[in-house]
Amino acid sequence: MKVFNYSDLSKSEIQKLVQRNVDPANEIRAIVEDVIAHVQQNGDSALLDYALKFDKVELDKLYLDKNELIEIASTVTNEQKAALRIAYNNIYKFHAAQLKGEDKVETMPGVTCWRELRPIEKVGLYIPGGSAVLPSTFLMLGIPAKIAGCGEIVVCSPPQKNGRVNAFIAYVALLLGVDKIYLAGGSQAIAAMAYGTETITKVDKIFGPGNQFVTKAKTIIQSTTTTAIDMPAGPSEVLVIADETANPVYVAADLLAQAEHGMDSQSILVCTSTKITEEVLAELDKQLPVLPRAEIAKVAMVNSYIVVADNLSKAMDFSNAYAPEHLILATENWQSITANIINAGSVFLGNLTPESAGDYASGTNHTLPTSSYSRAYSGVSVDSFVKKITFQYITPEGIQNIGPSVEILAELEGLHAHKNAVTVRRFEP
């Protein structure tokens, strides 16, 4: 890992350092646009073509039904089922608390305004299945969709070599009451849910993380179709802030936990001394070689780096510039700096709170904005699956109270029909 001293970096160097997953030559965009066009024009046929090309499997149909999911899920052990149910219950409990109505507000006598929630009717969930199969992502997306009351939940996940999905994904489908999983992955799955095919329903909003191709597809369809997206959620990343109270064994483990997601993942350490740097690097040398996904993690770590800052305050300045998906405060002094967090997707406080807990079972959602998008986006929640519709009701007293102000404002904007719509009510014979 490269090591930088924060005090030596200029603003432009910091800006360059925090950039990731860019596509300057539009090579990824060009590939994805071709995929989207093929799916839009050829529907199921295109999806079957891409399953053979990218997933190396020849499919005779594009979905698994409930009976097939039950059969596949039968191989999950009781211990594994128990762990998935604990995760389900914790995630459900955390998200259920987010479904709250709002009070009606009388803005002036006789004028009442309020908002009511309505679920998004049709949502698409993309569950990655590349180098790592992620039933946890299915829980993170399916549970808030279920709590919100979405009418139709379309689930896409890449087929495995046997033309099926992982047993754990099948079991989660049964936990969620999902009766069908569509065998489509990558940018082609995003296109299918955005435009619809003979088999897959067009949805109103697409959710789920993925690689750079999936993320690019989501950003393209959001600007070219009536389908919305949750956020740009691409290759995973973590930033760890560590001081002398951090445990280097834990810090190294956290960095590697993120790196093993994929070769395009990134793990950043921002620490307050070169001593911490040396201790963590030594631990990385011990822990990395024994990982089953060591080769993947090794590539990710080459694209990662360390920044040495003078103190925790400076470390937080760099973190806010980076705007991480995951932020770990590996310090006993975390309470002194949490108020300074401006940009982060999800935060893990203290030495005993690994990012892995949030990935799986603490209850918070792990579908989060990446690539600095935490500057403007929040992670997935129940709010992501609902619309908030405003209402207002005006009484006879209210129209007399608010009317003159509306008439004046409409007139000064030159919109006389707007003014008249109030006037005819105020002076109704």
The residue annotated as part of the active site, out of 325, 355, 366, 407, is 325
User: Which single residue is written with the structure tokens 């001081």?
Assistant: 243
Helix ranges (H only) for 225-346 are 248-259, 274-287, 294-302, 312-322
Nearby residues of 335 by Cβ (< 8 Å), 6 or more positions away: none
CA dist 177 and 231 (Å) reads 25
User: Could you tell me the CA-to-CA distances from 329 to 6, 107, 349 in Å, in that order?
Assistant: 18, 43, 5
Helix (H) or strand (E) holding 93: helix 78-96
User: Could you tell me the CA-to-CA distances from 327 to 14, 63, 139 in Å, in that order?
Assistant: 18, 37, 22
User: Which single residue is written with the structure tokens 């597809």?
Assistant: 217
Sign for the pseudo-dihedral over CA of 144, 146, 149, 153: positive
What secondary structure does DSSP assign to 351-388, as a single string? TT--HHHHHHTSSS------TTGGGT-PPP-GGGGEEE
Say whether 261 is catalytic.
no
What secondary structure does DSSP assign to 397-427, as a single string? HHHHHHHHHHHHHHHHTT-HHHHHHHHHHHT
Nearby residues of 292 by Cβ (< 8 Å), 6 or more positions away: none
Say whether 116 is catalytic.
no
Phi, psi dihedral angles at 155 (to 5 degrees): -115, 125
User: Could you tell me the CA-to-CA distances from 359 to 88, 91, 165, 275, 372 in Å, in that order?
Assistant: 12, 11, 20, 30, 19
Q: Return the half-sphere exposure (C-beta side, CA atoms, 13 A cut-off) of residue 258.
A: 30
Phi, psi dihedral angles at 306 (to 5 degrees): -120, 140
Strand boundaries in 76-176, DSSP class E:
105-108, 111-119, 122-126, 152-157
The residue annotated as part of the active site, out of 326, 355, 366, 407, is 326
The residues that are catalytic are 325-326
